[in-house]
Amino acid sequence: MPASEASAERPRADVVIEEIDGASSKEAFLSAPDKEIHGQFLHRVQQMLLDHAFQSTHRESKVTRYVDPDRLREIIDMNLRKEPASEEALLSYIRDTMKYSVKTGHPFFVNQLFSSLDPYALAGAWVTDSLNPSVYTYEVSPVLTLMEESVLKEMRSIVGWSDGDGIFAPGGSIANGYAISCARFHKIPDIKAKGLHGLPRLVLFTSEDAHYSIKKLAAFEGLGSDNVYPVKTDARGKMDVLHLRELVQRAKAEGAVPFMVSATSGTTVLGAFDPLEAIHEVCEEEGMWLHVDAAWGGGALVSKKYRHLLRGIEKADSVTWNPHKMLAAPQQCSTLLTKHKTILAECHSASAQYLFQKDKFYDTSFDTGDKHIQCGRRADVFKFWLMWKAKGTDGLEKHVNRVYENAEYFTEKIRRRPGFKLVLEEPECTNVTFWYVPPSIRGRDNEPEYNQKLHKVAPLIKERMTREGTMLMTYQPLKELPNFFRLVIQNSALTTSDMDYIVSEFERLGRNL
């Protein structure tokens, strides 16, 4: 039966829209873009987007235009109303939303473990929105399913695995949660059906500098945050393997079952890389799953120069790696990779017959959704795939080398500069942590109130940079250390001149403190 026969029967949009209740397609509640009605609106939005994309990354523009919440509610009418807004009003909401949002693609947005605005990735994100897909079956997302397969396979290959499995997750925290889920299922497969009830207490280990998601997800998954035993770190922020061994023995003596170590490659604050080979030895001896949270530091794997920092990662059972961090893909793009080929499906499948029908006409192994704890799932792959195509793996490597060069330049620059003090003398990642010591307390580090005074400096400088909009960089305390700043470089459009600017900006913001 030719398809043309069907086409002949199809109602034409412009005719039928007006048939029903005298409604016209101009009605605001109809959800389908029409060239005549919405063409100009969408075109104007696109023009605003182009302007914004180019301007928001310019050094001459502000990183942020801070206003207090009450004032912001006056500027943008946040309330939702019964009546539709005009297109002019909508355009002004878009304009103001852009104006008062933080420019995360700006070179001086160095506040988080994500930043930058890659033009090819941005194009990929726009395309994804236009497709409005959900990735769970080949039938509904054929292209994106194969792209996920390709990206995850290539990432596993970079980790060092010729086989295995992987998934995209909505962020590194949930990717770490998947690892915990796989690890305990690997130990006790009955957990899926029976739960933790009646089992011995299960304990996992991670360093005290690890990301908070390990505790958060352990609580969410019913293990309890107390059953994440914090392993001490050494002076460089790396997991102390002797202490890990002690804690494992302690847990066993308590009658608990150690089942997992979550090592970190690139800790959130200091950028430390845990010693994976030594940790793997402990895991082997004790029958524990080795997970590596390389959400941040995983990017170094694409660089011949820096991948040694993750030596031994191929011995891990699972790896969290977020391309939206060091590789500068857009938020969000997170993966959980594992060398175990079937565990993600075994551990998480529910085999719902209304979505994963087995009597389809094609090979249903391409219906990958049942590995996930999400059902409907936004596609995070295309933007990254397109960016990877645009740069090539060589381009990703150059990108990583460049961000390292900038971080190293910055470190050297402040190493002996008056008023600056490094927290780590030799940072291993592209986070550089430091105190800015204002003139008023400089050289007084033997005085009793020094640390309290220094602790208050960072919030003050942060307030000034935020209100002026000249830069955004985060600060935090760490254990007994007073507040210090953390520069994070993952935007390769930055240059050594930008590093110079950041130094001088601290001196300007802090000089009268």
115 to 144, contacts with its own copies by CB under 8 A?
Answer: 116-127, 129-134, 138-144
Task: List Cβ neighbours of 365 (8 Å cut-off, separation of 6 or more).
Answer: none
Nearer to its own copies by C-beta: 13 or 242? 13
Pairing of the two strands 431-436 and 481-488? antiparallel
Among 24, 46, 249, 342, the residue binding its own copies under the rule CB under 8 A is: 46
Q: Are 369 and 375 in contact (CB under 8 A)?
A: yes
Residue 413, CA distances (Å) to 59, 65, 256, 461, 504 in order: 21, 29, 49, 20, 11
The 334-338 sheet, strands edge to edge: 165-169, 334-338, 318-321, 289-293, 257-264, 202-207, 228-231
Q: Interaction with its own copies in 21-40: which residues (CB under 8 A)?
A: 23, 25, 27-35, 38-39
- What b/e string do you get for 449-461 counting C-beta neighbours within 10 Å, with b at 16 or more? eeeebbbebbeeb
DSSP, res 297: G
Q: Are 204 and 181 in contact (CB under 8 A)?
A: no
Q: Interaction with its own copies in 160-219: which residues (CB under 8 A)?
A: 170-174, 177, 181, 191-202, 211-213, 215-219
Q: How far is the CB of 396 from its own copies (least distance, A)?
A: 7
> Is there binding between residue 1 and its own copies (CB under 8 A)?
yes
The 481-488 sheet, strands edge to edge: 109-110, 472-478, 481-488, 431-436, 420-422
Q: Interaction with its own copies in 429-448: which residues (CB under 8 A)?
A: none
Q: How far is the CB of 159 from its own copies (least distance, A)?
A: 14
Q: Can you read off the two tokens belonging to residue 121?
A: 């990735």
Q: How far is the CB of 280 from its own copies (least distance, A)?
A: 26
CA distance 47 to 61: 18
Among 24, 74, 78, 285, the residue binding its own copies under the rule CB under 8 A is: 78
Instruction: Identify the CA nearest to 303 among candidates 125, 147, 490.
Output: 490
Judged by CB under 8 A, the stretch of 159-167, 272-280, 307-315, 484-492 that binds its own copies is 484-492
Q: How far is the CB of 158 from its own copies (least distance, A)?
A: 10
Q: Interaction with its own copies in 381-410: which residues (CB under 8 A)?
A: 382, 385-386, 388-396, 398-399, 402, 405
Q: Are 386 and 333 in contact (CB under 8 A)?
A: no
Cβ–Cβ contacts within 10 Å for residue 242, how many? 13
Q: How far is the CB of 278 from its own copies (least distance, A)?
A: 26
Instruction: Look at residue 42 and give its three-state secondary structure.
Output: helix
Judged by CB under 8 A, the stretch of 233-241, 305-313, 361-369, 418-426 that binds its own copies is 361-369
Q: How far is the CB of 444 from its own copies (least distance, A)?
A: 21
Judged by CB under 8 A, the stretch of 237-245, 280-288, 444-452, 502-510 that binds its own copies is 502-510
Instruction: Look at residue 1 and give its three-state secondary structure.
Output: coil
Q: How far is the CB of 155 from its own copies (least distance, A)?
A: 9
Radius of gyration of the chain (CA): 26
Which single residue is written with the structure tokens 């009268």? 512
> Is there binding between residue 294 and its own copies (CB under 8 A)?
no
DSSP, res 429: S
Q: How far is the CB of 14 from its own copies (least distance, A)?
A: 10
Among 253, 361, 426, 448, the residue binding its own copies under the rule CB under 8 A is: 361
Which single residue is written with the structure tokens 């010693």? 275
Among 26, 73, 250, 442, the residue binding its own copies under the rule CB under 8 A is: 73
Nearer to its own copies by C-beta: 242 or 375? 375
Q: Is the peptide bond before 476 cis (omega within 30 degrees of 0)?
A: no
Q: How far is the CB of 410 from its own copies (least distance, A)?
A: 13
Q: How far is the CB of 198 from its own copies (least distance, A)?
A: 8
> Is there binding between residue 80 and its own copies (CB under 8 A)?
yes
Q: Interaction with its own copies in 315-354: which residues (CB under 8 A)?
A: 322, 324, 328, 330-332, 334, 348, 350, 352-354
> Is there binding between residue 308 and its own copies (CB under 8 A)?
no
- What b/e string do you get for 125-139 counting C-beta neighbours within 10 Å, with b at 16 or more? beebeeeebebbbbe
Nearer to its own copies by C-beta: 283 or 489? 489
> Is there binding between residue 482 and its own copies (CB under 8 A)?
no
Nearer to its own copies by C-beta: 31 or 162? 31
Judged by CB under 8 A, the stretch of 276-284, 305-313, 417-425, 458-466 that binds its own copies is 458-466
CA distance 148 to 126: 18
> Is there binding between residue 79 and its own copies (CB under 8 A)?
yes
Q: Which helix (H) or strand (E) holds 292?
A: strand 289-293
Residue 143, CA distances (Å) to 135, 332, 392 in order: 10, 19, 20
Among 12, 22, 253, 304, the residue binding its own copies under the rule CB under 8 A is: 12
CA distance 207 to 332: 25
Q: How far is the CB of 241 from its own copies (least distance, A)?
A: 24
Q: How far is the CB of 284 from its own copies (least distance, A)?
A: 26
